[in-house]
């Protein structure tokens, strides 16, 4: 544990500004950064010794909390024995085999084949390639397009940036793959669907399939809860309808559970709640709780058996040096054991109820808050000028930024804002007092910033 003096911190800030290109880089964000030193459970401590609750599990990923020596030990043991060996043609390693079997056991019953990646972006990129590859094997090479959703976040590679339905991520990076398209509100929509919390319903997918032609579409990709786009939860029957539409149109359904996988919503995987299974599942983040990078895409028995019986002139030529990395796999195995032994999926359900209930009690009916939503330990709410009229704050007014700053500086809680949405996803190890502290910090921040 290191506490630094102001001169040492100034040197770090200078070097950071000079050399470190951060994710989503905008230099002024880094003029007075919080520089973290250590963490324990849901707590993070910066180099000045100030403590914060990590209200977003860092980036929705540190499920088992910070400072878990079991994971450090699992990594060290594996590194001492065999830090890395490649798993290309004809080679394998013990932890990767064990983790693939464990993951196949935990995920939806129909899914059996696991391809390990290093990130959520790589998982989605690979899922897309696997979908195209599968349709070629099935003699349908025209099925190349992918439909994604508005406000979705799927990653930072070129294809996954295109899938992302947040225009802020596109500026100056185009042109993108023309085969990536998005759902949008159909003209003249008349339906009695209960909408998702961001207004979308299953008819948006039907309309997109009609527009593009089912014969051209490889897959539909969706996060069960849209995360980085502002935490938007689905209507109870939305994914049941999505599954039916995909089946009827021979479109593969890719569930991006990079955030929701491994317990976040109070179920091991979010679609369990609706009795729905995807054809391909993307995961990352909580598989190792962020202690080392790892992800995977997992394919259905049907796709797996197609891959196991490739014609002699075809090979699934998709690879990363670090696929099935033994050290990452050893950490993943130990991490999943912690989630099971400490019953963290159940804790996410219980603490999620407490967080959602606490937010509704503290802010339900507040003049500037609307649409309070959560599914287990992923939660969000909207800041509005007038809750009854539900008019939005202009993002330029920076209301979300002000609330998040107040929470951090006065309430000791770190989280994220997405425009006017405040989003939360604390570590799954969180306890009642810490949930209550988050709710208290939010209520104080909203009341102070809105003056109400």
Ligand X SMILES: Cc1ncc(COP(=O)(O)O)c(C=O)c1O
Task: Give the C-alpha separation, 223 to 160, whole Å.
Answer: 13
Q: Which stretch in 101-109, 244-252, 256-264, 396-404 sits in contact with ligand X by CB under 6 A?
A: 256-264
Cβ 279 to ligand X shortest distance, Å: 17
**Peptide bond preceding 175: is omega within 30 degrees of 0, i.e. cis?**
yes
- Residue 279 has, within 13 A of its CA and on its CB side, a CA count of 24
Tokens of 195: 């909408």
In the complex, minimum distance from the CB of residue 134 to ligand X, in angstroms, rounded to a whole number: 21
Among 63, 255, 284, 348, binds ligand X (CB under 6 A): 284
Binding to ligand X in span 153-172, by CB under 6 A: 153-156
CB of 311 to ligand X, least distance (A): 32
Closest CA to 233 of 264, 268, 206, 279: 264
Per CB under 6 A, the segment of 69-77, 120-128, 246-254, 428-436 that binds ligand X is: 120-128
Examine residue 358 and tell whether it contacts ligand X (CB under 6 A).
Answer: no
Q: How many CA atoms lie within 13 A of 347 on its CB side?
A: 19
Shortest distance in whole angstroms from residue 426 CB to ligand X: 16
Smallest CA-to-CA distance from 117 within 316, 297, 286, 285 is with 297
Binding-site member from 223, 279, 420, 434 for ligand X (CB under 6 A): 223
Q: Which is nearer to ligand X, 258 or 403 (CB)?
A: 258
Q: Taking the complex as a whole, how short is the minimal distance between the CB of residue 126 and ligand X, in angstroms?
A: 11
Angle between helices 432-450 and 344-363 (to 10 degrees): 30
Closer CB to ligand X, residue 126 or residue 411? 126
Cβ at position 289, least distance to ligand X in Å = 13
Q: Is 56 in the site for ligand X (CB under 6 A)?
A: no
Residue whose CB is nearest to ligand X in the complex, by number: 120
* Bridging pattern class, strands 217-222 and 252-256: parallel
> What's the token pair of residue 231?
């935490």
CA distance 126 to 356: 34
Q: Report the chain's terminal Cα–Cα distance, integer Å.
A: 40
Of 260 and 327, which CB lies nearer to ligand X in the complex structure? 260
- The residue (of 47 and 286) whose beta carbon lies closer to ligand X is 286
147 binds ligand X (CB under 6 A): no
Q: Count the site residues for ligand X by CB under 6 A.
A: 16
Report strand pairing: 51-54 vs 413-414: parallel
Instruction: Tell me if 198 contacts ligand X by CB under 6 A.
Output: no
Q: Shortest CA distance to 198 belongs to which of 257, 239, 150?
A: 150
Residues at the interface with ligand X (CB under 6 A): 59, 119-121, 124, 153-156, 223, 227-228, 256, 258-259, 284
């Amino acid at each position: 544990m290191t506490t630094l003096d102001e001169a040492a911190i100034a040197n770090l800030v200078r070097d950071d500004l000079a050399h470190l290109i951060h994710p989503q880089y905008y230099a002024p964000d880094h003029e007075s950064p919080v520089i973290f030193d250590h963490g324990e459970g849901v707590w993070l401590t910066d180099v000045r010794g100030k403590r914060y609750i990590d209200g977003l599990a860092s980036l929705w990923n540190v499920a088992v909390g910070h400072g878990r020596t079991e994971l450090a030990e699992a990594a060290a043991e594996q590194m001492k024995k065999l830090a890395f060996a490649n798993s290309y043609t004809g080679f394998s390693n013990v932890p990767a085999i064990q983790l693939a079997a464990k993951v196949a056991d935990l995920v939806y019953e129909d899914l059996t084949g696991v391809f390990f990646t290093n990130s959520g972006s790589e998982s989605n990129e690979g899922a897309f390639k696997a979908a195209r590859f599968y349709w070629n094997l099935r003699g349908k090479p025209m099925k190349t397009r992918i439909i994604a959703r508005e406000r979705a976040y799927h990653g930072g590679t070129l294809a996954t940036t295109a899938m992302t339905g947040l225009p802020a991520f596109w500026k100056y990076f185009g042109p993108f793959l023309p085969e990536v398209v998005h759902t949008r509100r159909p003209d003249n929509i008349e339906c009695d669907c209960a909408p998702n919390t961001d207004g979308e319903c299953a008819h948006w997918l039907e309309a997109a399939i009609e527009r593009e032609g089912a014969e051209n579409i490889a897959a539909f990709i969706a996060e069960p809860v849209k995360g980085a786009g502002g935490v938007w939860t689905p209507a109870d029957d939305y994914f049941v309808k999505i599954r039916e539409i995909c089946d009827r149109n021979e479109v593969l359904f890719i569930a991006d559970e990079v955030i929701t996988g491994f317990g976040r919503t109070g179920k091991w995987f979010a679609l369990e709640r609706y009795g729905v299974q995807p054809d391909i599942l993307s995961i990352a983040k909580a598989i190792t709780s962020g202690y080392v990078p790892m992800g995977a895409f997992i394919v259905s028995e049907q796709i797996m058996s197609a891959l196991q019986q490739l014609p002699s002139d075809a090979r699934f030529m998709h690879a990363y040096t670090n696929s099935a990395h033994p050290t990452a796999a050893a950490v993943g195995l130990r991490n999943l054991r912690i989630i099971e032994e400490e019953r963290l999926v159940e804790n996410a359900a219980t603490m999620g109820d407490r967080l959602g209930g606490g937010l509704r009690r503290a802010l339900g009916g507040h003049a500037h808050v609307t649409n309070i939503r959560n599914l287990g330990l992923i939660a969000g709410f909207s800041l509005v000028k007038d809750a009854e009229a539900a008019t939005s704050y202009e993002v330029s007014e920076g209301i979300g930024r002000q609330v998040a700053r107040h929470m951090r500086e006065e309430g000791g809680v770190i989280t994220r804002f997405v425009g006017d949405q405040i989003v939360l996803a604390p570590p799954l190890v969180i306890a009642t007092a810490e949930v209550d502290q988050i709710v208290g910090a939010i209520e104080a921040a909203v009341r102070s910033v809105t003056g109400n």
